[in-house]
Amino acid sequence: MKIILLEDVKSVGKKGDLVELKEGYARNFIIPKKLGVEATGQNLNTLKLQNQNKEKIAKEQLEAAKALAEELEKMTVKLEIKGGEGGKTFGSVSSKEIAKGVLDQYGKEIDKKKIQLSEAIKTEGTHEVTVKLHPKVAAKLKVHVTAI
């Protein structure tokens, strides 16, 4: 019996998969617990439309991430931090401060978790920071740190 899964079922398949199951298992377990529905023509058509919608949304998110990446490449965020002699700073610049700086200076909101610091920024000068916007899109953001 062909079933379209509505939820992830361990050792059977993931949500949205079309799977072949034994009739007893499907009728007595999967369908009553609303883990899946029988693969009728109408249900298959609904699944096809849902998959097309997911693809469209994923494509739009990728395009938006690419556009934001292009903007970030052109930006230089200026941050101030307390400092001492020789370009050393007290403390370091965190991803939270960088995200706040981008929002304040350019009006673009970036999740601080997407900012990847290879090591803490503890010196004055311009540093490049990687921002992972999408699994396929990453941008380099310049952060200019000055000591006050």
pLDDT tens digits along 32-81 = 999 999 999 999 999 899 989 999 999 999 999 999 889 888 888 898 88
pLDDT at 83 over 80: no
Residue owning tokens 């401060």: 97
Q: CA torsion sign, 3 to 42 to 7 to 113?
A: positive
Asked whether the whole model's pTM tops 0.85, one would answer no
- Cα first-last separation, the chain: 71
